[in-house]
């Protein structure tokens, strides 16, 4: 039975769980600016928890392609404000901090966050893995190449599935070597991947179960969905639910989403099918 130890709270992943996205940035691709005020942070978080989110993932640095770089101090200020607000009003919340900077991660965990979610899997900050091990929290390691400014130019793979598996294999090995106990992997849909490559990863997603660690899928309203359907991110909920269903069938343990209610319903229906 897969579990994550989130500062003493054991989360059982034998039934998949949902991670709700709260971006405290003005420029995220879908919800930029929507959850920036204190009132909106609390309203969005409360709704997601009511709808069944197990985790709330707070991000203070937009990772959309071409996003503007910001100082560590600004990112830290954004996320600490959100963490303190949420834990004051919803003290049992399991908060994940979405950052690739070890300094931000450390400050967030000290403020009450319980999981570190790094889009670079430790590649963009050499101190990240040692920081995670020291803090003794779960580490979500995503695959990407480059950074948000350069990743769209780094999509040349011999075989995207094999190359991503090899990269994540190295990351898992390094994480265990430094003493990280709870590792989650994320193939990084849309990060240094074309739409065709994201579909290929989804087609082969069950192969990522070879790591015998939980698998997170983050595809909510992403461009490979809405551009394929020739719609906007605002209209991509149905497409997201379709792809989340495929991800669950192929073994995903966590769905990272903007729309919690629909993801929870998806899990409930598939659990009742009892594959």
Q: Is the pTM of this model over 0.85?
A: yes
* pLDDT number for residue 88: 98
- Residues of the chain by 3-state class (helix, strand, coil), percent to 5: 45, 15, 40
pLDDT confidence bin for 29, thresholds 50/70/90: very low
Using alpha carbons, select from 45, 27, 24 the residue that is nearest to residue 35: 24
* pLDDT number for residue 152: 84
* pLDDT number for residue 54: 98
Mean pLDDT value across the chain: 93
Which residue in 222, 227, 250, 261 is the catalytic one?
222
Strands across the sheet with 94-98, in order?
183-186, 139-142, 115-118, 94-98, 55-59, 17-23, 254-257, 216-217
Strand (E) or helix (H) holding 137: none
Phi and psi angles of residue 116, each rounded to the nearest 5 degrees, phi first: -115, 125
Q: What is the pLDDT averaged over residues 21-40?
A: 71
* pLDDT number for residue 35: 56
Using alpha carbons, select from 6, 99, 86 the residue that is nearest to residue 41: 86
Does position 270 have pLDDT exceeding 70, yes or no? yes
CA torsion angle 244 249 254 259 (round to 10): 20
Lowest mean pLDDT: which of 24-38, 136-150, 234-248? 24-38
Which residue in 34, 43, 256, 268 is the catalytic one?
256
CA–CA distance, 247 with 254 (Å, rounded to integer): 9
Q: What is the pLDDT averaged over residues 63-90?
A: 90
Tally of CB atoms within 10 A around 152: 16
* pLDDT number for residue 68: 75
Alpha helices in the chain (DSSP H): 38-51, 72-89, 102-111, 128-135, 160-178, 195-203, 223-226, 237-249, 260-273
Q: What is the pLDDT averaged over residues 159-169?
A: 97
Catalytic residue at 174? no
What is the widest separation between alpha-carbon atoms in the chain? 49
pLDDT tens readout for residues 139-160? 999 999 988 888 888 899 999 9
CA–CA distance, 116 with 95 (Å, rounded to integer): 9
List all residues 6 or more positions away from 40 whose beta carbon is below 8 Å from its beta carbon.
34
Contact 200, 190 (CB under 8 A): no
* pLDDT number for residue 147: 84
Q: What is the pLDDT averaged over residues 260-265?
A: 98
* pLDDT number for residue 28: 53
* pLDDT number for residue 66: 65
Residue 53 in 3-state DSSP?
A: coil
Catalytic residue at 256? yes
Does position 30 have pLDDT exceeding 50, yes or no? no
Does position 67 have pLDDT exceeding 90, yes or no? no
Does position 194 have pLDDT exceeding 70, yes or no? yes
* pLDDT number for residue 69: 82
Tally of CB atoms within 10 A around 215: 23
* Pairing state between β 254-257 and 9-12: unpaired
Burial class of 155 by CB neighbour count within 10 A (0 to 12, 13 to 18, 19+)? middle
Can you read off the two tokens belonging to residue 118? 């790094």
Quote the percentage of the chain above a pLDDT of 70.
Answer: 95
* pLDDT number for residue 63: 77
Quote the percentage of the chain above a pLDDT of 90.
Answer: 85
């Amino acid at each position: 039975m897969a579990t994550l130890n989130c500062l003493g709270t054991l989360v059982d992943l034998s039934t998949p769980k949902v991670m709700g996205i709260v971006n405290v940035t003005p420029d995220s691709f879908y919800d930029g600016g929507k959850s920036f005020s204190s009132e909106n942070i609390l309203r969005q978080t409360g709704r997601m928890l009511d709808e069944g989110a197990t985790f709330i993932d707070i991000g203070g640095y937009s990772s959309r392609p071409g996003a503007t770089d910001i100082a560590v101090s600004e990112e830290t200020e954004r996320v600490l404000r959100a963490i303190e607000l949420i834990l004051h009003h919803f003290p049992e919340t399991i908060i994940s901090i979405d950052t690739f900077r070890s300094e931000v991660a450390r400050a967030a965990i000290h403020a009450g966050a319980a999981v570190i979610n790094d889009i670079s899997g430790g590649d963009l900050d050499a101190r990240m893995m040692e920081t995670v091990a020291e803090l003794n929290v779960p580490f979500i390691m995503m695959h990407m190449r480059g950074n948000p400014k350069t990743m769209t130019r780094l999509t040349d793979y011999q075989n995207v599935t094999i190359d991503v598996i090899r990269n994540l294999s190295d990351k898992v090995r390094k994480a265990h070597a430094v003493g990280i106990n709870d590792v989650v992997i994320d193939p990084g849909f849309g990060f240094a991947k074309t739409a065709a490559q994201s579909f290929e990863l989804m087609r082969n997603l069950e192969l990522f179960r070879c790591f015998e660690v939980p698998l997170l899928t983050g595809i909510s309203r992403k461009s490979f969905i809405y551009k394929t359907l020739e719609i906007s991110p605002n209209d991509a909920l149905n497409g997201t639910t379709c792809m989340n269903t495929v991800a669950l069938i192929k073994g995903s343990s966590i769905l990272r989403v903007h729309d919690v209610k629909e993801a929870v319903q998806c899990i409930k229906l598939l659990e009742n099918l009892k594959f």
